[in-house]
């Protein structure tokens, strides 16, 4: 679709694609927030990535179209949702997010105006910051305590939150590389996502030792960690304890130390598993 057509009198249609794996705690909150948008989506598709809980059931009860998929990770789940979508613009969300009322309207504005093929938001706020393990996860990922990206984050980025459907499908969607798959689109599209001011949304960090461990394990299984010269040492206990202590001295939550121990233990297990089963890189 040409930019002139996208920015005409009629607003572009939007399909929201949600890749969800065992998100029964959050999926209803997300779907309720999408029902309250100033730019209502044409459709909401939950690509259920082989969940073993009630995610798919709750999503169907909330009126979403649910794709029940084999568990293979978020890249393939998002691609399946995009293939099934009918909107001109795809908006990608995770199952543990929720949207402000103007989120979709603000997020697609740069695309509808013809300024970019896709967009992202740096206004993603931490929705469970009252949970110490969530704050620990923010600290170990070097994020601000209350949001995922700093307020001065650049206006262009590799990670798309919304994109025109045609170019997404033309390049084959996300690459199935495990952790970091959301950064694989820009190089194929040939353009970085443009920031969309005012597209406020909220995200829940892992907020239990088990969730923090599993996220570390996912990172350890992925391909991007193998770009490090010494991945085992970079995630070793002596090194991460020194980093954690420096973070606490610098004002970060003391929970970052147990958070790092649990997270990096997960990374080590993921690294070991990937040596035995390199094809198994999803959670």
Q: What is the pLDDT of residue 19?
A: 98
Phi, psi for 245 (deg, rounded to 5): -60, -40
Same domain, 266 and 165: no
- pLDDT of 115 > 70? The answer is yes
Which of 151, 172, 203 corresponds to the end of one domain? 203
CATH code where residue 153 lies: 3.90.550.10
- Global model pTM greater than 0.85: yes
Average pLDDT, the chain: 94
Same domain, 185 and 227: no
3-state secondary structure 81-121: HHHHCCCCEEEEEECCEEECCCHHHHHHHHHHCCCCCEEEC
Same domain, 103 and 86: yes
Q: What is the pLDDT of residue 3?
A: 33
pLDDT tens for each residue of 146-167: 999 999 999 999 999 999 999 9
Domain of residue 248: give its range.
209-276
Q: What percent of the chain has pLDDT above 90? A: 92
pLDDT bin (cut points 50, 70, 90) of residue 205 is very high
Same domain, 62 and 197: yes
Please state, in angstroms and rounded to a whole number, the distance separating the CA atoms of residues 92 and 89: 10
Please state, in angstroms and rounded to a whole number, the distance separating the CA atoms of residues 49 and 245: 37
Q: What is the pLDDT of residue 50?
A: 97
pLDDT tens for each residue of 235-256: 999 999 999 999 999 999 999 9
pLDDT tens for each residue of 69-109: 999 999 999 999 999 999 999 999 999 999 999 999 999 99
Same domain, 122 and 193: yes
Which of 203, 222, 245 corresponds to the end of one domain? 203
- pLDDT of 1 > 50? The answer is no
> Is residue 283 in a domain?
no
Same domain, 55 and 160: yes
pLDDT bin (cut points 50, 70, 90) of residue 283 is confident
> Beta-carbon neighbour count of residue 233 at 10 Å?
10
Which of 203, 227, 256 corresponds to the end of one domain? 203
**Cα pseudo-dihedral 165, 169, 170, 172, rounded to 10:** 150
pLDDT tens for each residue of 248-280: 999 999 999 999 999 999 999 999 999 899 888
Q: What is the pLDDT of residue 119?
A: 98
Same domain, 158 and 74: yes
Nearest Cα neighbor of 206 from 150, 138, 123 is: 138
Q: What is the pLDDT of residue 282?
A: 86
**Cα pseudo-dihedral 193, 197, 199, 200, rounded to 10:** 120
Q: What is the pLDDT of residue 228?
A: 92
Beta pairing class for 156-157 and 193-195:
antiparallel
Please state, in angstroms and rounded to a whole number, the distance separating the CA atoms of residues 25 and 237: 32
């Amino acid at each position: 679709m040409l930019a002139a057509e996208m920015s005409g009198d009629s607003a572009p249609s939007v399909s929201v694609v949600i890749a969800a794996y065992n998100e029964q705690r959050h999926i209803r909150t997300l779907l309720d927030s999408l029902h309250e948008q100033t730019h209502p989506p044409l459709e909401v598709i939950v690509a259920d990535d082989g969940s073993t809980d009630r995610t798919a059931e709750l999503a169907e009860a909330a009126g979403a179209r649910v794709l029940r998929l084999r568990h293979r990770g978020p890249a393939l789940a998002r691609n399946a949702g995009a293939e099934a979508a009918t909107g001109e613009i795809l908006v990608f969300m995770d199952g543990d997010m929720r949207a402000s009322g103007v989120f979709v309207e603000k997020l697609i504005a740069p695309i509808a105006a013809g300024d970019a093929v896709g967009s992202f938001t740096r206004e993603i706020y931490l929705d469970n910051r009252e949970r110490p393990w969530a704050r620990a996860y923010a600290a170990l990922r070097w994020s601000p305590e209350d949001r995922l990206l700093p307020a001065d984050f650049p206006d262009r980025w590799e990670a798309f939150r919304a994109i025109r459907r045609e170019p997404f499908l033309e390049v084959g969607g996300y690459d199935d590389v495990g952790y970091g798959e959301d950064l694989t689109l820009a190089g194929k599209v040939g353009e970085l996502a443009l920031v969309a001011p005012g597209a406020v949304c909220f995200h829940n960090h892992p907020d239990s030792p088990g969730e923090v461990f599993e996220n570390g394990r996912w990172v350890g299984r992925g391909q991007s960690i193998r770009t490090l010269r010494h991945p085992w040492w970079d995630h070793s206990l002596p090194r991460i304890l020194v980093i954690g202590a420096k973070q606490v001295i610098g004002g970060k939550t003391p929970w970052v130390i147990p958070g790092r121990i649990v997270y990096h233990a997960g990374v080590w297990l993921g690294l070991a598993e990937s040596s035995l089963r390199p094809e198994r890189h999803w959670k």
